Amino acid sequence: MRPTRRFLVLGGLAAAAALALLLGLLWATRQRTTREAWGAIQARGVMRVGMDASYPPFAWVDEAGSFHGLDVALARALAMRWGVEVALVNVHFDGLYDALYTERVDLLLSALPYDRMLTRDVLYSQPYFAAGQVLLVPQGDAITASPGDLRGGVVAVEMGATAHQLARTLDRDRGLAWQVRAFRELDEAARAVAQGEAHALLCDRVSALALLATYPLRLAGEPLTDEPFVIAVRPDSPRLLREVNAALVEWRADGTLERLTHAWLAP
Partner 1 sequence: MTRQTRPSLVFPLRALGRAALLVAVAWLLSVPPQRLVTIGPPQAVQTRNPKMGVHTRLTDEVEEWKIQRTLEMVREMGAPWVVEYFPWAYSEPRPGRYDWRRADLIVDHALAQGLRVIARIDFVPEWARPPETTFRHLDPEHYGDYARFVAAFAAHFAGRVDHIIIWNEPNLSFEWGYRLPDPAAYTELLRQSYLAIKAVAPEVQVLAAGLAPTMAPPGSEWGMDDLLYLEAMYAAGAGPYFDGLAMHAYGFTFPHDDPPARDQVNYRRVELLREIMVAHGDADKPAYITEGGWNDHPRWAKAVRPYQRLLYTIGAYEWALHEWDWCEAVAFWAFRYPWDQRTYQDYYAFVTPDFVPKPLYTDLANYAQGRPYEYLEEGP
Q: Which is nearer to partner 1, 171 or 243 (CB)?
A: 171
From residue 112, how far is each of 86, 127, 138, 158, 232 by CA, in Å? 19, 10, 31, 24, 8
Q: Does 192 bind partner 1 (CB under 8 A)?
A: no
* β 107-113/217-219 pair status: unpaired
Q: Which of 121, 185, 222, 258 binds partner 1 (CB under 8 A)?
A: 185
Q: Which is nearer to partner 1, 41 or 230 (CB)?
A: 230
Residue 35: how many other CB atoms lie within 10 Å: 14
Phi and psi for 67 in degrees, rounded to 5? -90, 145
Q: Which SS3 state, helix, strand or coil, does residue 53 take? A: coil
Q: Does 68 bind partner 1 (CB under 8 A)?
A: no
Q: Does 36 bind partner 1 (CB under 8 A)?
A: no
Q: Does 91 bind partner 1 (CB under 8 A)?
A: yes
Q: Which of 62, 63, 94, 173 binds partner 1 (CB under 8 A)?
A: 94
205-212 and 256-265 helices, crossing angle to 10°: 70
Q: Does 29 bind partner 1 (CB under 8 A)?
A: no
Chain contacts with partner 1 (rule: CB under 8 A): 54-58, 60, 91-95, 98-99, 101-102, 104, 111, 113-115, 117, 158-162, 164-165, 169, 182, 184-186, 203-204, 206-207, 227
